[in-house]
Structure 1
């Protein structure tokens, strides 16, 4: 299968390269606005339709990752990459006759559920489950842009010939190694000098990530399951690992796609030694 990955050199794209880059079942093509010393890249900004259009020819599927990625983004920052860019990528996929489209949405499309319930939400006994059927509740321009992308995808499915299948994965928290574990955010704060291990701030970050963590290998499994599916036309799925503290429903992904998370946040009771050594070597005092 030939797969075009937009925004390929960002954090979310790294897991795809690690797990699928050498897989004989996939031929990945990378599109990014910056070149890469290792990976052959079609260099273009998704906000420029004419520049990106040639990369779509001959592809079987698209994984659309390119976006301004932060919740503090202003309207001007989000508009070009997340709104115009997503429209351009969908239009290019439609024009090229690409059948499958995987959209990197975000839990921030429903982020107000967390905003109004945190930090109590991070405790194991908090009773809240948000499903794909609950209303979109964006918490930022970024979150709203992801909700827009989901709705735009539904429009293309229902009104255009291509893509034929659209999957929105509301990604929670993907972290690159050595931070790819429930202690990653807390240890990043230690590394920056924001707090100390064992502090209240540290423990809050651990609890939150134990609710939102999506390991790289579970993220890639979700993508592959979308590619393997030949029935669904449009679907929205929350993307986390098997997290007891999680408030976003992953049963829908299990039932519809056959998702079987390999990683479980509560199995982690301490940060891995590799992470501790990395942070201690690089921490800002």
Structure 2
């Protein structure tokens, strides 16, 4: 069992889920966010931290032997906000990891890095970036930082391009992008247990019949997702209107997110 796993962004939806589901996967879960969190329970530490504060991040990472990095802006916002949390924040995290023994990092990247690819295209790890907004661009930056720190220092990371990590798929697009909570947890376990990791991108999706992403390059991790959005296909067909094939939601892999405007930079956001 690992001694201490750090979860950044622990107050968010995914962080809250992993706080529960990773309990017992390490002796201690260190939970961090800028937002308020419930107090620490047994086997937990709550450590508030602003990722843009390099000194604070340096203290946060000390003593950790694994990191699940969910922290940062997770929606399309102004560049000023994204820059502080997602660019400077990920740089601070990797610098802190380098200073403290280079614990493996599960970096929560996103399918927004490739959002403008067509839904008729099946992608592997060589697919070119086609971000659908500044948020997607920030995740490309994070992947580049992870690659640099691996090549220059040997820092190992899994770059998990999360699709739609929800309790159940909610619409037609999620029949391809759904990533069950249990499959995410099993991927984290596989990343921390693998004899070698390197700097490997993994598509964060379950074993969906209608999936768009090919994880063959990451088979060496031994991870095999068990859930399948097809189990919900009849329910979605019955309750969710099928979109017009010419609309963004049915054309691009990130659907309606390609319609999001670029937010002007405003320091007061």
- Interval containing the TM-score (normalised by the shorter chain): 0.7 to 0.9
Q: Do residues 141 (structure 1) and 143 (structure 2) align?
A: no
* Residue number in structure 1 paired with 2:148: 155
- How far apart are the structure 1 equivalents of 2:220 and 2:126? 14
Q: Flag structure 2 segments of 5+ consecutive residues without an equivalent.
A: 237-269
Q: Do residues 129 (structure 1) and 122 (structure 2) align?
A: yes
Runs ≥4 residues deviating over 4 A:
none
Secondary structure, counterpart of 2:143 in structure 1: helix
Q: Do residues 107 (structure 1) and 99 (structure 2) align?
A: no
TM-score, with normalisation over the residues of structure 2?
0.80
* Residue number in structure 2 paired with 1:266: 230
User: How far did 1:86 drift?
Assistant: 0.4
Q: Flag structure 1 segments of 5+ consecutive residues without an equivalent.
A: 122-126, 184-205, 272-285
1:121-174 deviation line (CA, Å, top 9, x unaligned): 3xxxxx42111111122111100110110110111111125x3x1110000111
1:102-138 deviation line (CA, Å, top 9, x unaligned): 100001111111xxx3xxx3xxxxx421111111221
Match of 1:252 among 200, 217, 221: 217
User: How far did 1:265 drift?
Assistant: 0.4
* Residue number in structure 2 paired with 1:16: 18
User: How far did 1:26 drift?
Assistant: 4.5
Secondary structure, counterpart of 2:213 in structure 1: coil
Match of 1:174 among 162, 165, 171: 165
* Residue number in structure 2 paired with 1:56: 61
Kept after mapping to 1: 8 A contact 2:124/2:214: yes
TM-score, with normalisation over the residues of structure 1?
0.76
Q: Which has the higher helix share?
A: 1
RMSD: 1.6
* Residue number in structure 2 paired with 1:93: 97
Q: Do residues 225 (structure 1) and 190 (structure 2) align?
A: yes
Kept after mapping to 2: 8 A contact 1:103/1:169: yes
- How many residues matched? 229
